[in-house]
Chains A and B, each alone.
Chain A
């Protein structure tokens, strides 16, 4: 049970921002929200994670709703290399294992 809900697929155009939603309505107060992505024929790659506050790094931004029942991964300018399956994962505090769902397949068009 991944305990997160994501759209099966989304499409974007190159150089446009992409907002990937994730619903985690049953999240507990101490669960972290992680995002990983998996490019074709590769292992998953860490993107970003957060607990309560919005987070930014060189790859993306993570916007967490105030009630923490949902979050959005933001890619500021999509490139063709961003085409991948994006996984939103809840991770209990004090753990290092990951429970993956099916993720969102992001398609990026030139």
Chain B
């Protein structure tokens, strides 16, 4: 059983650019959630994907978008990067049929926008 893996681990981008972050969910998990964690804060929910469809969204603008693939891996895309997008981006996987149980988080991608 493999855990949640994210790539890359670190990334530096310039303001205005676009970025794609990747997440491989834990084996058997069909739901992926993405979170943004600014320095010194708790993670904030961006959106969730289930069966390749967005299944809930937090208070983030449309330039934050995502995809989920048939193998349940996922991408987070951010367009028109702003300095405030600098953060740790976390993905978490879970099994939809087991609501209110534990989620498994990856180590995160540290994004720095300069």
Contact = CB atoms under 8 A, between A and B. Distances in A.
Interface of A: 2, 32, 34, 41-46, 49, 85, 87, 91, 93-103
B44 A100 contact: yes
Interface in B63-102: 90, 92, 94, 96, 99-102
Nearest to A101: B42
B8 interface: no
A96 to B, nearest CB: 5
A102 B37 CA distance: 10
A32 B100 contact: yes
Contacts of B94: 96
25 contacts: A2-B42, A32-B100, A43-B90, A43-B105, A44-B90, A44-B92, A45-B105, A46-B102, A46-B103, A87-B42, A91-B100, A96-B31, A96-B33, A96-B48, A96-B94, A96-B96, A97-B45, A97-B48, A97-B58, A98-B33, A98-B35, A98-B92, A99-B45, A100-B43, A100-B44
Contacts of A34: 102
B100 A49 contact: yes
Given A43-B107, A49-B101, A100 B42 contact: yes
Given A43-B90, A43-B105, A94 B44 contact: no
A93 B99 CA distance: 8
Contacts of A2: 42
A94 B99 contact: yes
Closest 4 CB pairs of A and B: A100-B42, A43-B105, A46-B102, A32-B100
Contacts of A49: 100-102
A59 B56 CA distance: 31
Contact of A44 (B48, B99, B105): B105
